[in-house]
Amino acid sequence: MGRAFEFRKARKMKRWSAMSKAFTRIGKDIVMAVKEGGPDPDANSRLRAVIQNAKAVNMPKDNIERAIKRASDKNQGNYKEVLFEGYAPHGIAVLIETATDNNTRTVANVRSYFNKSDGSLGTSGSVVFMFDHTCNFRIQGEGMDLEELELELIDHGVEEIFEDEDGVLIYAPFESFGSIQAYLEENNIEILSSGFERIPQVTKKLSETEAADVEKLLEKLEEDDDVQNVYHTMEESAE
């Protein structure tokens, strides 16, 4: 198995099970998707992907429809996607994806989390190069020949395909998202969920005490309503 498999395995055990913010995050994704391409999922591939993700976390259909309706209102403000970079204690690089309607507030909050945790907020480009920006798809794998599927998708940029208890996972570079989505839809392969991740190229193992220092910062960041995703270079155990 490759890096994407190991990355997913470790993060799934530790963070992906926490769904308390899922509806809020998806609500923002719906607003951004509708503002970008309109409220019709058939004509808006980004919105189709968000709706799939909403269903994957059991977001009620009524909630999805209300979110789309609200996003279509001209008085509904939009969210800006802003990337923050910095260092946690012990030299751990941290990358934070946010969706905010008030950048001043978000910058102040993120900076305070770093300062209070003995970390440092960096400048643009200071750590992003340490992570590979990837896209992923989860599909139903029952009765599917994964080797044949992988051969079909290589031309679309796919780098890794593997199966776990959630289905078949497909990983590729960020820019391959549209091509893969189109292929799966054209071949009537149901997409259960999809998204983007930043996989660290190299991770650093810390002692239990050092890891606890880093966790304090990560928890503060992940609790912030403006934060969508947090990535770092600390080695995580899949146990």
Residues 82-101 have pLDDT tens digits of: 999 999 999 999 999 999 99
Q: Over 90: is that where the pLDDT of 18 sits? A: no
Q: Which two tokens stand for residue 121?
A: 């907020």
Query: How is 175-202 classified by DSSP, letter by letter?
Result: GGHHHHHHHHHHTT--EEEEEEEEEESS
Round the average pLDDT of the chain to a whole number and report it. Answer: 90
Q: pLDDT (tens digit, 9 = 90+) per residue, 150-163?
A: 999 999 999 999 98
pLDDT of residue 238: 54
Name residues whose C-beta falls within 8 Å of residue 93's C-beta, 6 or more positions apart in sequence: 85, 86, 87, 127, 130, 131, 200, 232, 233
Q: Which amino acid makes up residue 198? A: R
Alpha-carbon distance of 228 to 224, in angstroms, equals 9
Q: Which pTM value belongs to this model?
A: 0.88
Q: pLDDT (tens digit, 9 = 90+) per residue, 46-85?
A: 999 999 999 988 889 999 999 999 998 888 888 999 999 9
40, 181 Cβ separation under 8 angstroms: no
E-strand ranges in the chain read 80-88, 92-100, 120-121, 131-139, 160-164, 167-173, 191-200, 227-232
